[in-house]
Amino acid sequence: MSLLKLDNVTIRFGGLIAVDKVNLTVEQGEILSLIGPNGAGKSTIFNLITGIYSPTEGNIYFEDRSIGSKKPYHLAAAGIARTFQTIHLFNNLTVLDNVLIGAHTRGKWNVTGALLKFTPWVRGEERELTEWAYDCLERVNLADKADELAMNLSYGAQRRLEIARGLAVRPKLLLLDEPAAGMNPQEKATLLKMVKAIRDSGVTIFLVEHDMKFVMSISERISVLDYGVKIAEGPPEAIRSNPKVIEAYLGKGAVNSA
């Protein structure tokens, strides 16, 4: 059983076909990368998986259940978490609060809980959530910044905070949308280790990334998207030498001269 399966998924915005009959599976425990030129539809696929968009045609299955028409908040509860290409942190809140919000689905007390703040049940839950949030922060080396405002973090730290917030959901599948964007080589090396450690802890990783060196060294499989169509899929070595992929990236002439 695949963890996630896109079955003939198409989405149209007006006349534009952003994703065209894509079939794709993510297997339990792997690191899969999705690459392709700008505007190929990579982020749209993430938005489809997380329920921000619904497919025009086709369906998406998570653990064999159809999720094509589910809302984003259902999917977090089901075990899908993500980061965003453009950072979507809760800027005016602390780093800890950001991660606690990620852990939202792990708590259950709402308005009544708020008013029963000092009862052992509510305090117990808050303590559990906070401990869990600190665990997540430690996994991305941000625990010492817990009380900072998210907007005051450096760019790289903000990207890591997005990952911590995603981890707090306790996902089975974590989608990373260009996690290495804007990072320096050193930060990228750390990130590489981090993502591998997260996978080793049992979280399946599906990522979109432009940095080819990063993608080649982290992925077990790579899917390539061009103009909304999947043009190739396979292990990094095969993708590197695939003429269709080179053509998509560099144009037709490049294939002949290669």
Partner 1 sequence: MAEVLQSISNSIDPYILQIFVNIGIAIILALGLNLITGVTGQLDLGHAAYMSVGAFTAAIITINLNLPFSINLLIAGTIAALVGLAIGFPILRLTGDYFAIATLGFAEILKVVFLNLDITNRALGLSVPPANTTIPMPFYVWMITILVIVGVTFIQNSRFGRALKAIREDEIAAETMGINSTRYKNQAFAIGCFLAGIGGGLYAHFIAYINPSDFAFMKSIDILNMVVLGGLGSIPGAIVGASVLTVAPEFLRFMSEYRMLVYGALLVFLMVFRPNGLLGGVDFRKMVLRIFFGKKEKKPNVTIKAR
Partner 2 sequence: MFLQQLINGITLGAVYGLIALGYTMVYGIILLINFAHGEIFMAGAFVGLMMVTVFKMNIFLALILAMAFCMVLGVVVERVAYRPLRNSSRLSALISAIGVSIFLSTLALLIFGANAQGYPAQTFPVSQIHIGPAEISTLQLLILGLSAVLMIGLELIVHKTKIGKAMRATSQDYQTAALMGINVNRVISFTFGLGSSLAAAGGVLVGLYFNAVSWNMGLMAGLKAFAAAVLGGIGSIPGAMLGGLFLGIFEIMGVAAGLSSYRDAIAFAILVLVLLIKPTGLMGRKIQKKV
Q: Which does 126 bind (CB under 5 to 8 A by kind): partner 2, partner 1, none?
A: partner 1
Among 73, 121, 197, 213, binds partner 1 (CB under 8 A): 73
Backbone angles phi, psi at 14, to 5 degrees: 60, -120
| Element holding 177 (H helix, E strand) | strand 173-177
What is the spatial distance between Cα 45 and Cα 9, in angstroms, rounded to a whole number? 9
Among 8, 13, 71, 115, binds partner 2 (CB under 8 A): 13
Q: Which is nearer to partner 2, 84 or 214 (CB)?
A: 84
Residue 40 token pair: 């190929």
User: Cβ–Cβ contacts within 10 Å for residue 130, how many?
Assistant: 15
Give the largest CA-CA distance in the chain: 72
What is the spatial distance between Cα 98 and Cα 144, in angstroms, rounded to a whole number? 14
Among 50, 204, 223, 242, binds partner 1 (CB under 8 A): 50
Encoded one letter per residue, x for contact with partner 1 by CB under 8 A and - for no contact, window 123-142 reads --xx--x-------------
Residue 72 binds to partner 1 (criterion: CB under 8 A):
yes
Query: From the CB of 97, what's the least distance to partner 1, in Å?
Result: 6
Q: How many residues sit in the footprint of partner 1 (CB under 8 A)?
A: 41
Q: Tell me if 161 sits within 8 A of 142, measured CB to CB.
A: yes
Residue 52 binds to partner 2 (criterion: CB under 8 A):
yes
Nearest Cα neighbor of 44 from 228, 206, 245, 180 is 228
Residue 115 binds to partner 1 (criterion: CB under 8 A):
yes
Query: From the CB of 207, what's the least distance to partner 1, in Å?
Result: 16
Residue 111 binds to partner 1 (criterion: CB under 8 A):
yes
What is the spatial distance between Cα 141 and Cα 158, in angstroms, rounded to a whole number? 12
Give the residues lining the site for partner 2 (CB under 8 A). Answer: 13, 43, 47, 52, 84
